[in-house]
Structure 1
């Protein structure tokens, strides 16, 4: 038995019963499910109004569901070529049926002015 350092699900098994694994390689990949994050690239012009705590809807393409979320972090650097900034968010309600790696568009309410 192998005990994981956190609760999660096995995403990839790299070693199987009766094999002698390479000691420098991981045996498996475990994905934590405690707090899923949403990673987005947004226009840097949005930094005029975008702040931690701003709410948005995240539509998950795989399930067709739209879930409420909020901005948690904004990167400290703007990409000068694409004029985008990396933004991280989290789900604020239930996220039942959401798995790591799912994707979709984020929908923000247009700011006033």
Structure 2
């Protein structure tokens, strides 16, 4: 019974030693934004205006683009007129019923027509609201995919944007690191573009080990990120496995 336990312990020690040798080498990492997305047109039409260009900053709720919606706005006017007429008809039919001069069925039909007209107005207003593209968060424009006055289709990509207020550090570790890796552990990353070290901590560990490479993705968060850092920069992270506990030691690359 003692032999299997000894072999298991020996295997674990060998695995940790192999991981320690691999961790002695710097680990490549990349800075990525917490939030980034591609904004697309929700309706087809001529791109009337783009208010931002590549690299520009914007605020949450700011108008980034607008599509020519003259036709859709005219449909709102038509829907309002139809609703006004339907409301008057309903009012007349209701009064006739009160005076015993009209049928209940006619009054109910008039009421239904009024509700139908109101729904049509609401629908037209929703369509027009999609003519303006608003920023879902504050950030910067990564790429402008279209030009003003260009005709765009519904679903066509217009802008790539990101939130650079908080950057994360992504890197890949051997799956053996899961034995000692802990969320909250601090480390330093040496960013190549600036030549400086920055303090960070592990905030997430991947949910799945890659079955081919036997690696796991690790995500760290920078403490008080400097304004000189931008998404896409890369650097080196060096982690040293523990000797007697389960804490990751930090060393500079």
TM-score above 0.5, yes or no = yes
Shift in Å, 1:69:
0.5
Q: Secondary structure at the match of 1:45?
A: helix
Question: Cα 1:42–1:94, aligned 2, differ >3 Å: closer, same or farther?
Answer: same
- Note if contact 1:56-1:109 (Cα within 8 Å) is conserved in structure 2: no
In structure 1, the residue matched to 2:227 is 96
* Residue 154 of structure 2: aligned partner: 23
- 1:70·1:91 contact (CA, 8 Å) conserved in 2? yes
RMSD: 1.5
Higher strand proportion, which one?
1
- TM-score of the two chains, using structure 2 as the length reference: 0.42
Query: Gapped runs of 5+ residues in structure 2?
Result: 1-62, 65-133, 245-253
Match of 2:237 in 1: 106
For the pair shown, which has the larger CA radius of gyration, 1 or 2? Answer: 2
Residue 108 of structure 1: how far off its partner (Å):
2.1
* Equivalences, count: 113
Matching residue within 61, 64, 84 for 2:192: 61
State the distance in 1 between where 2:139 and 2:197 align.
Answer: 24
Q: How does 1:45-60 map to 2 (within 5 A)?
A: 45-60=176-191
Select which of 11, 14, 39 maps to 2:145: 14
SS of alignment partner, residue 111 of structure 1: coil
Match for residue 86 of structure 1?
Answer: 217
Gapped runs of 5+ residues in structure 1?
none
Are the counterparts in 1 of residues 175 and 215 from structure 2 also a CA contact under 8 Å? yes
Match of 1:73 in 2: 204
**Alpha-carbon distance between aligned partners in 2 of 1:63 and 1:25, rounded to the nearest angstrom:** 36
| Partner secondary structure for residue 153 of structure 2 | coil
Secondary structure of 1:89's aligned partner? strand
